[in-house]
Structure formats: structure tokens, C-alpha cells
Structure 1
Amino acid sequence: MADSFDFELVSPERLLVSEKVTEVIIPATLGEMTVLAKHAPAMTTIKPGVLTVKLASGETRKYVVFGGFADILPTGCTVLAESAVAKEEASRDLFQARIDALRADISDAPTDEHRTKLEHMLSELTHLNQNVLPG
């Protein structure tokens, strides 16, 4: 059996997960990242994506996260998400509200650099919407 470690997924609204896990797959900004027990200390930003958690019991759970940070230590991992929901709770309305808000922010962006960053986020969110809720 794989070693387990403490994992927490926290959003401003609530604590979504606080469990012993054997693996967490994080949608890190620079690419997908798998965290196992005794991982080297690291901190990374996360982009909108699906975070996969394998519990020590063997059960796998998936969550849709909308950005944030991950703090990784050899003994645990904490993800502080800007917003997160269980994948089965994700809805078209949730994604559409976020997409509409980003479009409004893009039109009000004060600089080209800020506009480019927001357009990149919109692209990631649109892609995520299509992958999580196909058709």
C-alpha cells in the first residue's frame, strides 16, 4: 500500500477535503503535477482545472478548481483555491457566470499585459468548461 499524507482543499466558502490521501494531481500553472507522500517542499500556483484526489481508502474524487495556490510539504499538501466545487456539482451556469465575468474584466483591462493575462484565463476556463461538461 502506498504511503499516505494529509491533504486539505480549502476555498473561501468552505473546507472541501481534509483527508489522508495517497496521491493528488494538481492543475499547476506550469503543467499538471502529481503529489505523493514525502514530496519535496514546493509551492505552486494553480490554474482552472480538475484536481484529482486518491484517498487512502482507494476512493478517487475530482474537484473543479478555479485558480489558487498549492503548498506541498513531505508530510502534507494544502490547496487554497480561489473557488472549488466537487466535479459532479459543476454546472453550465457556474461556468457561464465565470466566463461572463472574465469577458467584462477583459473589456475593462487597464493595460495590454493585464488584458492578455485575462484572455489566457478565459481560454483556460472555456477549455475546462468543454472538458468537464462536454456537449
Structure 2
Amino acid sequence: MANTLQFDLVSPERRLASVAATEVQIPGADGDMTAMEGHAATITTLRPGVLRVTSAEGVKSYAVTGGFAEINATSVSVLAEKAVPSEEATGTVLDDILAEARELAAAALPEDRDMAEKAVNDILAMKAGLGH
């Protein structure tokens, strides 16, 4: 597949993904970002939210609580504090991630409040999309 980059997602519990991706949408602490082949070298911390990966198999979503992503021209490596694939996300797991996102939103500085509230809304949307 042309125009791909290697995507790896790991959490303390396990490796969740290792695929050739065309794009990776990352909930960065300083704003959402999309990494594609040829991206400038970047390291960003993650905020609670939904990470989406587009590959030959389609789009796969993961709820993440934090961690960091290292991006370069040929790969994206995400080390997440906690990450759950959408198909494994139960109501309880998403409730825990949602509670953490809400705590961060409540404590956010005024200039960060919009982004913090977006994290809450992203997780609510994932929860609604899964029928939870």
C-alpha cells in the first residue's frame, strides 16, 4: 500500500495495534492532529479522547486516557497510559475514561476548556456509537 506509515499502539497491558496506516488521528494535549506519511518529526502528549487509525482494513478507533505519541515521516508510535479498542470498550471502561476526561475538563484553564470538552464529547460519541 502506497503512502503508508507504520503505526504501533501499546499500553502497559499489551500491544494493541501494529499496522501500515494511511493516517492516524491523535487526540493531542495541544489539539487534535492527523499524522500521515512524510509528517515532520513530532512528540506530543495525549489527552483523553479517541484515537483513529485508517488502514487497508478500514478505520479502527481506540479510547485513550493519556500517554504520548512519537511521529516521524515513516511511523507513529503511541504509548498510551490506557487504551481500549472500540470493540472491547464496555460501558464500565468508557465510564472510567469519561470520568477522567470530565475531571480534566473541570480543572482546565479557560484557554484549554474547549479542547477538554471536546475530549468528553468524543468519548460520549464513541459510547453512543457502541450503544452504551
TM-score (norm 1): 0.75
Aligned mates of 1:24, 1:101 — CA distance in 2: 23
Residues 46 and 101 of structure 1: CA distance in aligned 2, closer, same or farther (over 3 Å)? closer
Aligned mates of 2:15, 2:91 — CA distance in 1: 23
Question: What amino acid maps onto 2:125 in structure 1?
Answer: N
Question: What amino acid maps onto 1:80 in structure 2?
Answer: L
Question: Corresponding residue for 2:121?
Answer: 127
Unpaired runs of at least 5, structure 1: 107-114
Question: Corresponding residue for 1:116?
Answer: 107
Residues 13-62 of structure 1: per-residue CA shift (max 9 Å, x gap):
0000111111111111121101001110000011111111111x252211
Question: Corresponding residue for 2:95?
Answer: 96
* Structure number with larger C-alpha Rg: 1
Question: Corresponding residue for 1:111?
Answer: none
Q: Does 1:5 align with 2:5?
A: yes
Report the number of matched residues: 122
- In structure 1, the residue corresponding to 2:37 is in which secondary structure? coil
Q: CA deviation at 1:95?
A: 2.9
Contact 1:48 1:124 in 2 (8 A): no
Q: State the identity as a percent.
A: 38
Residues 129 and 2 of structure 1: CA distance in aligned 2, closer, same or farther (over 3 Å)? same
Residues 59 and 129 of structure 1: CA distance in aligned 2, closer, same or farther (over 3 Å)? closer
Give me the CA root mean square deviation: 2.7
